[in-house]
Copies of this chain bind each other. A is one copy, B any other.
Amino acid sequence: MVIEEKTISSDKIYTGKTISLKVDTVETINQGYQKREIVEHPGAVGILALNENNEIVLIKQFRKPIEKVIWEIPAGKLEPGETPKECAQRELKEETGYDASNLKLIHKFYTSAGFSNQKIYIYLATDITVGERNLNDDEDIEVHTISLEEAYNMVIQNEIEDAKTAIGILIARELI
């Protein structure tokens, strides 16, 4: 039986646009005390959008924290009051121009439970049709369609290095 850690005190360090940071003091199993650094995140969705040719939509985007352009599935963070499904529909449209008639939750996971509560919901989007996209001002995103099989090879070869993208592709391939 694993024991939960009781919070003794909590210090708010930072409240930002996307994340907040707090440091909790907890009581540990040996009756000692430890600090736990916790990044709070509103949660996010990733969308595995599959067209009638068994191709998925992948994007290329520059990510400042890693100073690198990487392959990802379309994704974005939950806005206040929004359900994960609504968020998936909105982000897919904004970033890629695709509308999906069919959205199904296929997996949810914690990205980094050691220091963050961030949870990502992965949706499989089917019956997709392409229209206009609607990027935020500061977004610069390239949209590609790639066969699910080729995307799977990109995961295995590790050309894909993004957690939600690897999980989405690997799980979708098992389910389809």
Contacts and interface: CB of A to CB of B under 8 A. Distances in A.
Interface in A88-133: 107-120
A35 B16 CA distance: 10
A154 to B, nearest CB: 12
A171 interface: yes
A147 interface: no
Interface string A66-81: 1111101001010000
Nearest to A24: B64
A107 B11 CA distance: 36
A65 B32 contact: no
Interface of A: 1-5, 7, 13-14, 16-19, 21, 23-24, 26, 28-30, 32, 34-41, 44, 60-70, 72, 75, 77, 107-120, 137-142, 155-156, 158, 160-164, 166-167, 170-171, 174-175
19 contacts: A14-B14, A17-B35, A18-B114, A19-B39, A24-B64, A28-B138, A29-B140, A68-B113, A70-B110, A72-B113, A107-B158, A110-B163, A112-B112, A112-B116, A120-B163, A156-B174, A163-B164, A163-B167, A166-B170
